[in-house]
Amino acid sequence: MSVSGWYNRTLNKIWGFVEDRTAMRRWALRPQPAFTFKPSYWTGAFVAVALVYQIISGALLLLYYQPSTNATLTACGQTVGSLSTAPAAWCSTYYIINSVPMGSILLSSHLYGAYAMIFLMFLHFFRGYYVGVYKSPREFSWMVGTLLMVVTLGMGFTGYLLPYTQLAYNATNVGVVLALRLPTLGPLIGPFILGDGTSQGLLSRMFDAHVILLPLALAGLFYAHLSLFESHGIAPPATSDPTQRRRFTDKEEKDHVPFIPHIFFYTLKWGLLYLGILFGIAALWPWNLPTYVGNTAAAAVVTEPDWYFLWLFKLVDFQGVTPVIAIGGSTAILLYILFLPFLDRSKRTHPRDRPVFIYLATCLLEFFILMTVWGGETPGVQITYPSIALGIGPIFGVTAVAVGLFHWRYRLSYRRRLAARQMSYAGPYPRGAPSVSGSHPTSAVSEVGSSD
């Protein structure tokens, strides 16, 4: 027997033993169609990988971090100069970066990992939006996902203040003022966020929310999200099928692979690549700790949040946009996303069949990117009505034309292909008759519109 044959047989034996003794086929997630071995099908799993790293790195950071605003003589690991009067929260962060072995990589990778998780989550969200995964029967998966998005952004918001830098303190205060303006919810959550009104009160609450409350909410929602995913299975490719939602074909139905080891190791492979890149970036470009709250040299510090909230901060700079309007607008966007499955009721999932909703998604994406860049380039600079119209108007206009053309062009080609298929089929049923079984040749019609 060749060495590789022996190697494969031994591995199979070991795996068979593990599979049998752990009974994993019963508890692992359900098998999935083999064609889903594409990163686009597992964007949510990549978010989950990023989440796992955040939990591990966060737990390690907790070993050293001190959530206190009291000045300390020791937490920085040195007592020289102005650092001796720095708050413990900042000092312990300084200590992690400068004195804990690999501390700089740990802290930087936790921070960049949060950016990556939020970026991957947006990717997961927009991919799902474009290919219509929110449609029946996955409405609740979508709604729970929207709540996950809110909680994840909340994790970012609350974590931002923890190093207790003046930059973060200013931005958190703006965010808190905006949150307090939330209709109905604002006055309710106000006392919880502000506590006794002191800086320590605010820091303690942000810390509590970041390490206990929001992680608990995240864990519960993630469990619900995965359970729903397990119940409905992965969403089939988008389709223009005029009569029915795309189901898996007979061949796809047979061609399933077990979650463990196949999909698990597939995700793990991408996860390891993710970690490699994350550590590489953290090592090459470690995060520089900005100056601490109360440092007189910090008087000129601008107020700037992390990149994923820049759009909201910029919105407040728009002429005529008060905090109430800004927060009201973002609540409206959130409600739109939450109830999207009930707004877009058509059964067709392909982007070319949903021009209005695709237009709205594209505008949302463009608005987010534009405002983020704008907010980063000119933080705090007022934007007048003409600049708003010139900045946003043409983009939305061009998008309307592009989506309209896309819709028109593909409807035409889809109809042509549909007609060609029906012409080539000379069976006992009249042309265009609905399919009676998945394997009947007319079911080929449902494949015409498959996107993946």
Cβ distance to ligand HEM smaller for residue 93 or 141: 141
Distance CA 31, CA 178 (A): 45
- Measured from the CB atom, is 42 or 318 closer to ligand HEM? 42
Least distance (Å) from ligand HEM to the CB of residue 111? 17
Minimum distance, C-beta of residue 307 to ligand HEM, in the bound complex (Å): 17
Shortest separation between residue 450's beta carbon and ligand HEM, angstroms: 15
Nearest residue (CB) to ligand HEM, 167 versus 360: 360
Q: State the pairing for strand pair 32-33/256-257.
A: antiparallel
Beta bridge partners of 165: 292
Cβ atoms of 182 and 366 closer than 8 Å: no
166 exposed, middle or buried (CB, 10 Å; 0-12, 13-18, 19+)?
Answer: buried
Chain residues that interact with ligand HEM, rule: CB under 6 A: 42-45, 47-48, 51, 121, 124-125, 128, 133-134, 138, 141-142, 145-146, 148-149, 152, 222, 225, 229, 234-235
Rounded least distance, CB 446 to ligand HEM, Å: 18
Q: Which is nearer to ligand HEM, 106 or 118 (CB)?
A: 118
The runs of H, that is alpha helices, within 23-162 are 24-27, 43-62, 88-98, 103-130, 139-161
In the numeric block, the tokens 């998945």 are attached to 438
Instruction: Give the shortest CB-158-to-ligand HEM separation in angstroms.
Output: 15
Minimum separation from the CB atom of position 293 to ligand HEM (A): 30
Nearer to ligand HEM, 116 or 316 (CB): 116
Q: Based on CB atoms, which residue is closest to ligand HEM, 112 or 229?
A: 229
- Return d(Cα 388, Cα 372) in angstroms, integer: 14
- Shortest spacing between CB 381 and ligand HEM, in angstroms: 31
Give the DSSP H/E element, type plus range, for residue 21. Answer: helix 3-22
CA distance 326 to 174: 12
For 373: left if phi > 0, alpha if psi spans -120 to 50, otherwise beta; the answer is: alpha
Which is closer to ligand HEM, CB of 97 or CB of 148?
A: 148
